Amino acid sequence: MKIIWKQENKPHMKVCEKEGVTFLTYPEFDKLPGLVHGFSTRLGGCSEGIYASMNLSFSRGDKEEAVKENYRRISAALGFLPEDIVTSDQTHTANVRVVTEKDRGNGITKPRPYTDVDGMVTNVPGLVLATFYADCVPLYLVDPVHKAVGLSHSGWRGTAAGIGEVTVEALRKNYGSDPADIYAAVGPSICQECYEVSEDVIVEFQKAFSPELWPELFYKKQDGKYQLNLWEANRQIFLRAGILPEHISMPGICTCCNPDFLFSHRASKGKRGNLGAFLGIRK
């Protein structure tokens, strides 16, 4: 399968395959000891039809037994157990939850006791945070000094609300993280060339970002619509939060440009499964 990569001359994510499952990792994160991380692709699961094949959503109409088997497979490939996972409840907020041992298995082996959670942070070894995607932006944060991690879902609303910065602040407040120590990554999501938005969305970004950044974040087309760069917007949010530019990894891969490799809501017109981002500290 041919993969279309963006941002030439920059480091990209790495395509990995283990036990028949294909997933993506960050080379910079691979250098950090004691970390488990990855991003699923469509390949290596058992779901069928529009969900083929590694669908990780229980709520889009796929067979429950297929989704459970997909979790078993992706967990084995990345090196943890499904019961170690703690899932988000994404509703495009900037809410970030502190995850503790009692949350183990939430959304996988037991119901979630919370709603409206788009981001999570933890310092509990053995827990694996999981958030879900089909064009929105995954945000990974790792503090190797205090051994804490954060993982957040950032669509355009979450990006305008600065959930990346909120997650950095949650790491600082709860674990003493210094932003200068944190490694961050923007995950596979829709690129600027594919992401057309209306003016009401751009107004929110004009409120959230200083005018000198606007040319990097969006441009207007002749039809009055705009093309929005969520990758750069979230990179700027990380910089604003105090993360060093050399500590920020970019994805280099667009969900919408690669609909056979990654689920894309726009490319499939909503007929799709979900991808998963995973991040945790090994026991």
**pLDDT tens readout for residues 42-79:** 999 999 999 999 999 999 999 999 999 999 999 999 99
For the chain, the domain total comes to 1
259, part of any domain: yes
Query: By the 8 A CB rule, do 127 and 279 touch?
Result: no
84, part of any domain: yes
Answer whether residue 12 shows pLDDT above 90: no
159, part of any domain: yes
pLDDT digits 0-9 by tens, 226-252? 999 999 999 999 999 999 999 999 999
Q: Name the band, by pLDDT with cuts 50, 70 and 90, for residue 8.
A: confident
* Proportion of the chain above pLDDT 70, given as a percent: 100
Q: Provide the CATH number for the domain around residue 155.
A: 3.60.140.10
Predicted structure pTM score: 0.98
1, part of any domain: no
Tokens of 128: 């694996």
Residue-range definition of the domain harbouring residue 120: 14-190+240-281
Integer CA distances (angstroms), 85 to 8, 35, 81, 120, 219, in order: 34, 14, 7, 12, 39
pLDDT digits 0-9 by tens, 148-205? 999 999 999 999 999 999 999 999 999 999 999 999 999 999 999 999 999 999 999 9
Question: In 126-275, where does DSSP find H-type helix?
Answer: 156-160, 163-175, 199-208, 214-217, 230-240, 265-268
Of 154, 176, 181, the C-alpha closest to 165 is 154
Q: What is the pLDDT of residue 116?
A: 98
217, part of any domain: no
Q: Name the band, by pLDDT with cuts 50, 70 and 90, for residue 7.
A: confident
